Amino acid sequence: MSYNDRAYALFEERQNERGIRLDEVKAKLKALKVETPSWGYGDSGTRFKVFKQAGVPRNAFEKFEDAAQVHKLTGICPSVAIHIPWDKVDDYSKLQQHAAELGVSIGAVNPNLFQEDEYIFGSVTNSDPAIRRKATDHLLECVDIAKTVGSRDLSLWFADGSNYPGQVDIRKRKAWMLEALTEMYRALDPNMRMLIEYKFFEPAFYHTDLADWGMSFNMANKLGPQAQVLVDTGHHAQGTNVEHIVAYLLDEQKLGGFHFNSRKYADDDLIVGAHNPYELFLIFYQILDAAADADAGVRATADQIAYMIDQSHAIELKIPAMLRSVLNVQTQYAKALLINFDEVRDAQEKQDVLAAEQAVREAYEQDVTPLLLALREEMGVPADPMKAYLQSDYGSGILARGKGGASW
Amino acid sequence: MSYNDRAYALFEERQNERGIRLDEVKAKLKALKVETPSWGYGDSGTRFKVFKQAGVPRNAFEKFEDAAQVHKLTGICPSVAIHIPWDKVDDYSKLQQHAAELGVSIGAVNPNLFQEDEYIFGSVTNSDPAIRRKATDHLLECVDIAKTVGSRDLSLWFADGSNYPGQVDIRKRKAWMLEALTEMYRALDPNMRMLIEYKFFEPAFYHTDLADWGMSFNMANKLGPQAQVLVDTGHHAQGTNVEHIVAYLLDEQKLGGFHFNSRKYADDDLIVGAHNPYELFLIFYQILDAAADADAGVRATADQIAYMIDQSHAIELKIPAMLRSVLNVQTQYAKALLINFDEVRDAQEKQDVLAAEQAVREAYEQDVTPLLLALREEMGVPADPMKAYLQSDYGSGILARGKGGASW
Amino acid sequence: MSYNDRAYALFEERQNERGIRLDEVKAKLKALKVETPSWGYGDSGTRFKVFKQAGVPRNAFEKFEDAAQVHKLTGICPSVAIHIPWDKVDDYSKLQQHAAELGVSIGAVNPNLFQEDEYIFGSVTNSDPAIRRKATDHLLECVDIAKTVGSRDLSLWFADGSNYPGQVDIRKRKAWMLEALTEMYRALDPNMRMLIEYKFFEPAFYHTDLADWGMSFNMANKLGPQAQVLVDTGHHAQGTNVEHIVAYLLDEQKLGGFHFNSRKYADDDLIVGAHNPYELFLIFYQILDAAADADAGVRATADQIAYMIDQSHAIELKIPAMLRSVLNVQTQYAKALLINFDEVRDAQEKQDVLAAEQAVREAYEQDVTPLLLALREEMGVPADPMKAYLQSDYGSGILARGKGGASW
Amino acid sequence: MSYNDRAYALFEERQNERGIRLDEVKAKLKALKVETPSWGYGDSGTRFKVFKQAGVPRNAFEKFEDAAQVHKLTGICPSVAIHIPWDKVDDYSKLQQHAAELGVSIGAVNPNLFQEDEYIFGSVTNSDPAIRRKATDHLLECVDIAKTVGSRDLSLWFADGSNYPGQVDIRKRKAWMLEALTEMYRALDPNMRMLIEYKFFEPAFYHTDLADWGMSFNMANKLGPQAQVLVDTGHHAQGTNVEHIVAYLLDEQKLGGFHFNSRKYADDDLIVGAHNPYELFLIFYQILDAAADADAGVRATADQIAYMIDQSHAIELKIPAMLRSVLNVQTQYAKALLINFDEVRDAQEKQDVLAAEQAVREAYEQDVTPLLLALREEMGVPADPMKAYLQSDYGSGILARGKGGASW
């Protein structure tokens, strides 16, 4: 038997003993879909410098080509989020067809309301009604695009806020936010969702109109069942227990999706799972716990979470960085699937602090490499997607695009 | 003319020019009530050491005597919050009568659900139903006490949470919290309020069942109009924009009250306004802005806020520390009353960032000493309450109580 | 008597009573110099968007013209920091002459080691010796420029760091940093200083080679007396007691200067004193305390501090924003000069916590407007520099420059 | 072959392939020593409540008995830190003999300067010279005790600081700190060390005399080679890169030891490695990197680090919580030993961000269970120390001690 086969056999033996059924684990891993963002393949950076890389895609079509590579190598990234107007094209059916030929599809539509000069003091919450109108029209345009391309989800992040006390009327802006979102909500088809993001700070440095989960949640509650909250893992105050928020929103049936990335300080937008990987595992622990809830609504919410990556590679090669993120998501999800929930609940009921902690932690400590190798073989993708990419000539091929591709 | 008279005349001239009517300002200052907490007069400290001070009150009756001093000297602290069981007495009518004779009354009732051995893993969210029952019964007991002593408000802070991932079932505890609060809510008389506090961390170091305003707000929404949120100024993550939360809750008509204190790091529970006093001013700015809202419900919410102090004097003399806190609240409130709101709104509409910031800031930069001296004269309290206290023999008189008084 | 005269008379009476001699206060206020940065007049923003403003200077000469306005109106900004290569000119004597004609001079020289493609993984700490050489050469070039233009100070901020664990050899980079700084130090003339800045994070998101005051201080110690630490008020972890660091560095005779700005979250680079103004006052309190130290070296250190502004106006008009910052510095310095240090020390010796705090705080609560009006009259600058600017036609005149001026 | 044998064989095969020699790894793991603190076996808690547990040791002798259990079961905890006066005994030779009979020895001596009434405003930095004298005498007493019991290390944590601006003279206290430490330093035998701890905040809430590594490092530099810095993993601002500080101090040959614990918020003092376990691994990565430095002094510093646990179990059973901490330290150290440093350095030199990160991360992802099982068999300790403890009757035996044992 090869090393890998022996390793898998041993892994299986161990998990059986732990009461984990690998067939179920694999089925769930095969069902995992992680959407990558078109803008994650372009140049980006910090306010100090955007380092331009050779090979960066020059338009939406090339972004989809890069994204398709990630899907081809991992098998779990079949859709690509788009950002309007960055990915605006004359004919979306051409982009759809291009995507289809590449084996992927268009995912969430992301309006952009922070890069036009008129939005210097806000978009949908600007005190100037004409600017609010323009911003709301853009939201409606994005709904139309989503209908055109068959996207279910609209991901909404607003940079709106202020830099100084007194600068704006906080409560009026709250009303204007609701006004714009309400108009957008009414434009949705019944199967569509609005995923409302929040952010602790940046680019607004005093107040942000949607500053935390509570503000997004409250908006979503006022709007209705098609509005849910989107959690970006980098958008919280230091120390915030993100998995608690995840559990809370699941319980309220209001968690719609994630923008995954990692950070050590602020919204660093680094490779998912690179900093404090345990947090990512604990997020999946809460999701899997909710996915087995007695309440069908909670279970359905957990099942319909949109897992999306949103990161910004300032110094990394774009495609490998995206691969690493996707693989890290898969790894932590796999580990969370190895939690013996009966054991956890039993220890919780006995109020045995150490046993409960250990029951969760034990799964995290498993090396899931044998499992993932077996899984990838079954899925018909390379055993080591990163290595396969680096050995392919895709990376060298795109160098012909030159420098100066898409960026934000 | 005396210095003070000249200073007041000059101050008045300035404020008239700024468009501020001092008669209205004074009327509002006279209406300001700040409740002091019975436990703020006792010994307290950190986990490392409680330094016992001579003169600390030995029981609820003596706490009211000290609190009455603060009211006598400031004229704005007519009520005293109590903590059950710390202030439990056999006959509340005696405590009421004692308070009345001292010129004060019993204010908010605060249940204590964190100091009994059974609460080691939680009170109303404990996985043991018997402990939840006991905890809920204590809440109901406090409602009864509130009815007995004629208190409108119950201030609810729960230490409940966990220290480790996996230790508890976060979502079940959310349900248990709602269960207990619902039972308590039903016991309220129509005029009573439940003020639900939240806290970022401590004493729970992984998750806290009510961790932020959003969780308290959601609970209050589920319960009904008599449930509102209580903001403790020290219970947030570093960097949190507290005044934004205040504005938000006011707009939702769900801000019930404050536990004022100041902090630099965690829940330091220091003298109000001692650290970053501008924040306290900005909180009052948002309150005054809401108090002039077009919506009667928002206005009423602003008017009915319970201003309460909750601090913990580890190294300070208790009564002077409380005086300082009360005076700092009054000072920042006075400054906020000097904001020319028309000017602010005008600059906001013009999106003139610097003018809007300046319109708010200008009020903060005023020295309100002449105003407060005049006010105190009109109110018949000492011009300098702190000095008056230090010159009185109250402080030396209570030394006879010795060391080892009440503490927590 | 005019209102202002009466206000000043009253102010003087009050300060005399408090034991403060206004002639000394004014002399110190007249001696205060605040350097403004050339780059503070150009466009800047966040990674999301740089909003281009009409009227922004197009080159170093125009930046000096704008800076000269700030000096003309305030009388305390006679020098302008330059950034190389942003302000590189063919003939520095022309820039010097231009500055002199405008009534200002060239201040600190700031090397830029973060905007060339080669610095993607670091400049002086890059593992590639050729890049380190290039970066060090740039430092030496800046020393030469400083000699040419007669600048005493070189302000050194390094963006160098890493984004991921393992990415770099932290200890080797420490050695390379010392190597480069040593070479630069040797190039200094005896009267020159190297001011070494540090930063908690950004643009590096895992580790920054000079991450805190301790690292800059250690470097400065190894280099010698001409190397000192530069404190940027926005470069610390949340909650950091900046004034403690200031006091500490003064005591070690290693505080060389400040980059003033304010922030609520990260390195927000907002108008100085706009957020938590009390902190700025407390910094000056520590400086004034050290300026009266028994040790001549400590006193000299306090006297030679370079006060510089470093901020980034994303949404504000540049010149008014700079004026506001300068005026805020002057205001808080004026307040700190009103501290009765004898009273503070007396209370400290008695370990009277509340009296000591109050002695410092009392000065902060003074409204120094009458003092500053009198001062400005004596200095021959407008009583209200902001108003004077807005009423002048300078702001409209520069609109002819159009949009698209200098930025970073 | 048993499951464990097969698992080990497979593990060995994998590590061989990765270029890791398990014999060396095991030798290093056998050399790892983790000191447990006597006070970690007693009752402790938060300022809100200390939950008294049955079975807690009542005196120093019983604490050593509990600590000996941890050593017996793990084989890596041969010494026990003591806290004076908590562990003060009339005759230290008896305690030494007791320890020896239990198979352990007395480790670091920890003075306590925060629990006497006189220290309310500071100990060695108190403005009262009599209190400073008393505090310094206690330090000298602890040096004597260390000599008596043959301890090499004195661990020094000072709670000294202030709660309010102005309360104290920060710079004078700095001088007093140096004065006391100098006197202590002179009393050391040549083989002894002073390990100087620092803390961001608590119990002081405005400034702490030794607030960060820079302040401890500066003190240690002034004192001499026998003074080094002690890093408590919970004593930093949120977001601080602790492993960077570790690398920095190692490079300066000034890292003396650790107080291990984990935290999510402030100084939570939780089980080591329970929160963000990756950080613990990254600390060991830096230590192992330094242990192979070209400089013999750096290598020696890395080799002589005192690994000590300092945590506070509010809700956990004391001995199991300590076991878990010790095992977590061993686990992360084992993982760090699996780093292929050649690979890391190679990727670093190529500036291949993703490969370098991956080379470090790969080691973290290994499941070291087979290694640790084999190691424990070789060391003659139970394969699962926690299980062995829970199955033993030690835990039930100590219940006879009752409630109300030692606490702080």
State pLDDT tens for residues B340-395: 999 999 999 999 999 999 999 999 999 999 999 999 999 999 999 999 999 999 99
Report the C-alpha gap between A153 and A139 in whole angstroms.
13
How many residues belong to chain C? Answer: 408
Percentage of chain B modeled with pLDDT above 90: 98
List the one residue out of C289, C198, C219, C305 whose CA is nearest residue C255: C305
Which DSSP state fits D83?
E
Q: How far is B370 from chain C (nearest CA, A)?
A: 11
Instruction: Report whether A38 contacts A404 (CB < 8 A).
Output: no
In order of their start, the domains of chain C are 32-339 (3.20.20.150)
Distances (CA, A) of D303 to B263, D241, D296: 41, 22, 10
Which DSSP state fits D363?
H
Q: Is C170 on the interface with A (CB under 8 A)?
A: no
Report the C-alpha gap between C168 and B97 in whole angstroms.
72
Report the C-alpha gap between D151 and C340 in whole angstroms.
49
Instruction: Report whether D59 contacts D85 (CB < 8 A).
Output: no
In 3-state terms, what secondary structure has residue B389?
Answer: helix
| pLDDT at res. B211 | 98
| The one-letter amino acid at D103 | G
Instruction: Report whether C305 contacts A111 (CB < 8 A).
Output: no
| pLDDT at res. A407 | 83
Which burial class, exposed, middle or buried, applies to C288 when counting CB atoms under 10 A from its CB (0-12, 13-18, 19+)? Answer: middle
Report the C-alpha gap between A271 and A36 in whole angstroms.
12
Q: Which of residues 290-349 of B touch C (CB under 8 A)?
A: 315-317, 320-321, 324, 331
Q: Is A100 on the interface with C (CB under 8 A)?
A: no
Report the C-alpha gap between C184 and C179 in whole angstroms.
9
Both tokens assigned to C81 = 């920091």
| pLDDT at res. A408 | 73
Q: How far is D284 from chain B (nearest CA, A)?
A: 23
Report the C-alpha gap between C283 and C290 in whole angstroms.
11
Q: Is D274 on the interface with A (CB under 8 A)?
A: yes
Secondary structure tally for chain C: helices H, strands E:
16, 10
Nearest Cβ partner of D263 from B48, B205, B264? B205
Query: Does the distance separating the beta carbons of D348 and C282 come in below 8 Å?
Result: no
Q: Which of residues 118-147 of B touch C (CB under 8 A)?
A: none
Instruction: Give the number of B-D residue pairs with CB atoms closer than 8 Å.
Output: 101
Q: How far is C164 from chain A (nearest CA, A)?
A: 7
Instruction: Give the number of A-C residue pairs with CB atoms closer than 8 Å.
Output: 101
| pLDDT at res. D73 | 98
**What are the chain A neighbours of B174 within 8 Å (beta carbons)?**
247-248, 251
Q: State the number of CA atoms in the 13 A half-sphere of A90 facing the CB.
A: 0
- Residues ≥6 apart with Cβ < 8 Å to A366: A14, A335, A338, D367
Q: Is B201 on the interface with A (CB under 8 A)?
A: yes
- Residues ≥6 apart with Cβ < 8 Å to C384: none
Report the C-alpha gap between B41 and B26 in whole angstroms.
29
Query: Does the distance separating the beta carbons of C114 and A270 come in below 8 Å?
Result: no
Report the C-alpha gap between C315 and A15 in whole angstroms.
57
Mutate to test the interface with C, among D248, D301, D361, D362 (most CBs of C within 10 A): D248
ipTM above 0.95, yes or no: yes
User: Which residue in chain D has the smallest CA separation from A331?
Assistant: D365
Q: Is B14 on the interface with C (CB under 8 A)?
A: yes
DSSP E strands in C254-393: the ranges are 255-260, 306-309
Instruction: Report whether B26 contacts B375 (CB < 8 A).
Output: yes
List the one residue out of C97, C107, C95 whose CA is nearest residue C36: C107
Q: In b/e form, how buried is each residue of A285-313, taking b as 16+ CB within 10 angstroms?
A: bbbbbbbebeeeebbebbeebbbbbbbbb
Q: What is the mean pLDDT of residues D290-304?
A: 98
How many residues belong to chain A? Answer: 408
List the one residue out of B242, B311, D237, D235 whose CA is nearest residue C241: D237
Report the C-alpha gap between C60 and C38 in whole angstroms.
7
Q: Which residues pair with D79 in a beta bridge?
A: D105
Containing C228, the helix (H) or strand (E) segment is: strand C227-232
Instruction: Report whether A228 contacts A194 (CB < 8 A).
Output: yes
Long-range (24+ apart) CB contacts under 8 A made by C297-300 are C297/C253, C298/C250, C298/C251, C298/C253, C298/D171, C300/C253
Model pTM score: 0.98
Q: What is the mean pLDDT of residues B115-123?
A: 97
**What are the chain A neighbours of C200 within 8 Å (beta carbons)?**
265
List the one residue out of A250, A170, A178 whose CA is nearest residue A220: A178
In 3-state terms, what secondary structure has residue B262?
Answer: strand
**What are the chain A neighbours of C312 within 8 Å (beta carbons)?**
47
Report the C-alpha gap between B397 and B382 in whole angstroms.
20
- Beta-sheet pairing, D161-162 with D207-208: antiparallel
Chain mean position to CA C293? 23
**What are the chain B neighbours of C361 within 8 Å (beta carbons)?**
274
Both tokens assigned to B279 = 């924040």
Distances (CA, A) of B289 to A324, B246, B255: 49, 11, 14
Instruction: Report whether D51 contacts D328 (CB < 8 A).
Output: no
Q: φ, ψ for residue B91 (rounded to 5)?
A: -135, 105
Query: Does the distance separating the beta carbons of A203 and C49 come in below 8 Å?
Result: yes
Query: Does the distance separating the beta carbons of D211 and C348 come in below 8 Å?
Result: no
- Beta-sheet pairing, D105-111 with B207-208: unpaired
Instruction: Report whether D371 contacts D330 (CB < 8 A).
Output: no
**Would you say residue D334 has pLDDT above 90?**
yes
pLDDT tens string B314-340: 999 999 999 999 999 999 999 999 999
Which DSSP state fits B111?
E
| pLDDT at res. B64 | 98
Q: Is A236 on the interface with D (CB under 8 A)?
A: no
Report the C-alpha gap between D12 and D14 in whole angstroms.
5
| The one-letter amino acid at C71 | H
Q: Which of residues 27-86 of C touch A (CB under 8 A)?
A: 44-49, 51-52
Report the C-alpha gap between B105 and B33 in whole angstroms.
12
**Would you say residue D407 has pLDDT above 90?**
no
Which burial class, exposed, middle or buried, applies to B391 when counting CB atoms under 10 A from its CB (0-12, 13-18, 19+)? Answer: exposed
Per-residue pLDDT of chain A in tens (408 residues, 90 and over written 9): 899 999 999 999 999 999 999 999 999 999 999 999 999 999 999 999 999 999 999 999 999 999 999 999 999 999 999 999 999 999 999 999 999 999 999 999 999 999 999 999 999 999 999 999 999 999 999 999 999 999 999 999 999 999 999 999 999 999 999 999 999 999 999 999 999 999 999 999 999 999 999 999 999 999 999 999 999 999 999 999 999 999 999 999 999 999 999 999 999 999 999 999 999 999 999 999 999 999 999 999 999 999 999 999 999 999 999 999 999 999 999 999 999 999 999 999 999 999 999 999 999 999 999 999 999 999 999 999 999 999 999 999 999 999 999 887
Per-residue pLDDT of chain C in tens (408 residues, 90 and over written 9): 899 999 999 999 999 999 999 999 999 999 999 999 999 999 999 999 999 999 999 999 999 999 999 999 999 999 999 999 999 999 999 999 999 999 999 999 999 999 999 999 999 999 999 999 999 999 999 999 999 999 999 999 999 999 999 999 999 999 999 999 999 999 999 999 999 999 999 999 999 999 999 999 999 999 999 999 999 999 999 999 999 999 999 999 999 999 999 999 999 999 999 999 999 999 999 999 999 999 999 999 999 999 999 999 999 999 999 999 999 999 999 999 999 999 999 999 999 999 999 999 999 999 999 999 999 999 999 999 999 999 999 999 999 999 999 887
Instruction: Report whether B305 contacts B284 (CB < 8 A).
Output: no
Instruction: Report whether D154 contacts D111 (CB < 8 A).
Output: yes
In 3-state terms, what secondary structure has residue D305?
Answer: coil
| pLDDT at res. A141 | 98
| pLDDT at res. C407 | 83
User: Which residue in chain D has the smallest CA separation from C214?
Assistant: D214
- Residues ≥6 apart with Cβ < 8 Å to A313: A40, A44, A271, A321, A322
Q: What is the 3-state secondary structure (H, E, C) of A48-117?
A: CECCCCCCCCCCHHHHHHHHHHHHHHHCCCCEEEEEECCCCCCCHHHHHHHHHHHCCEEEEEEECCCCCH
Q: In b/e form, how buried is each residue of B367-379, taking b as 16+ CB within 10 angstroms?
A: bbbbbbbbbbeee
| pLDDT at res. D196 | 98
Containing B35, the helix (H) or strand (E) segment is: strand B34-37
Percentage of chain D modeled with pLDDT above 70: 100
Query: Does the distance separating the beta carbons of C240 and D171 come in below 8 Å?
Result: no
Mutate to test the interface with B, among A170, A202, A231, A354 (most CBs of B within 10 A): A170
Q: How far is C80 from chain D (nearest CA, A)?
A: 32
